Amino acid sequence: MDMSSRNSVWYYWVSGALGFVIVLIMGIEKWRSKRLPPGPFALPLLGHLHLLEPNVHECLSKISQRYGPLMTLKFGMKTTIVVSSSAMAKEILKDNDQTFANRSVPVIARRITYDALDILWSPNGPRWRLLRKICVKELFSTKSTEALQPLRREEVRRTIGNIYKDSVKGIGIDVGAKAFTTSLNLITNMMWSISNETDERGVEFKDLIREIVYILGVPNASDLFPFLERLDVQGLYKRMQKVFGRFDKLFDRIIQDRVSGKSKGQDFLQSLLDLVERGVDEHDPDSVQLTMKDVKILLLDMVSGSTDTTSNIVEWAMAELLQQPEIMKRAQKELEQVVGLDNIVEESHLSQLPYLDIKVKEVLRLHPALPLLAPHRPEKDCEIGGYLIPKDTQVLINVWSIQRNPQVWKDPSVFDPERFADSKWDYNGRDFDYFPFGSGRRSCAGISMANIMVNYALASLLHSFDWSLPVGEKLNMAEKYGIVLRKAVPLVALPKPRLLQPNLYD
In a domain, 223, yes or no: yes
DSSP 22-64: HHHHHHHHHHHHHHSPP-PPPBTTTBTGGG--SSHHHHHHHHH
Chain center to CA of 51: 25
Q: What is the CATH number of the domain that holds 325?
A: 1.10.630.10
Whether 34 maps to a domain, the answer reads no
Cα separation, 218 vs 40, in Å, equals 24
What is the tally of structural domains in the chain?
1
CA distances in angstroms from 221 to 46, 215, 370, listed in the order given: 11, 13, 21
- Please report the pLDDT score of residue 54 as a whole number: 94
Do the domain assignments include residue 336?
yes
What is the rounded CA–CA span in Å between residue 250 and residue 252?
A: 5
Range of the domain at 21: 3-26+42-505
Residue 213: name the closest of 306, 325, 88 by CA.
Answer: 306
Q: Does residue 288 sit in helix, strand or coil?
A: coil
What pLDDT is recorded for position 199? 60
Tell me if 32 is assigned to some domain: no
Within a domain: residue 35? no
**Hey, which bits of 202-270 come out as E strands?**
none
User: Dihedral (C-alpha) 307, 419, 430, 456: value to the nearest 10 degrees?
Assistant: 30
Domain assignment of residue 499, yes or no? yes
CA distance 489 to 366: 17
Contact 493, 468 (CB under 8 A): yes
- Residue 31 is assigned to a structural domain of this protein: no
Is residue 37 domain-resident? no
pLDDT means per 10 residues, the chain with 506 residues, are 51 52 44 77 95 96 97 97 98 97 95 91 92 89 88 92 93 95 89 68 84 91 95 95 93 92 87 87 71 92 89 97 97 97 95 97 97 96 97 98 97 96 88 96 92 96 96 94 92 94 76
Residue 23's pLDDT is 41
Q: What is the pTM of this model?
A: 0.90
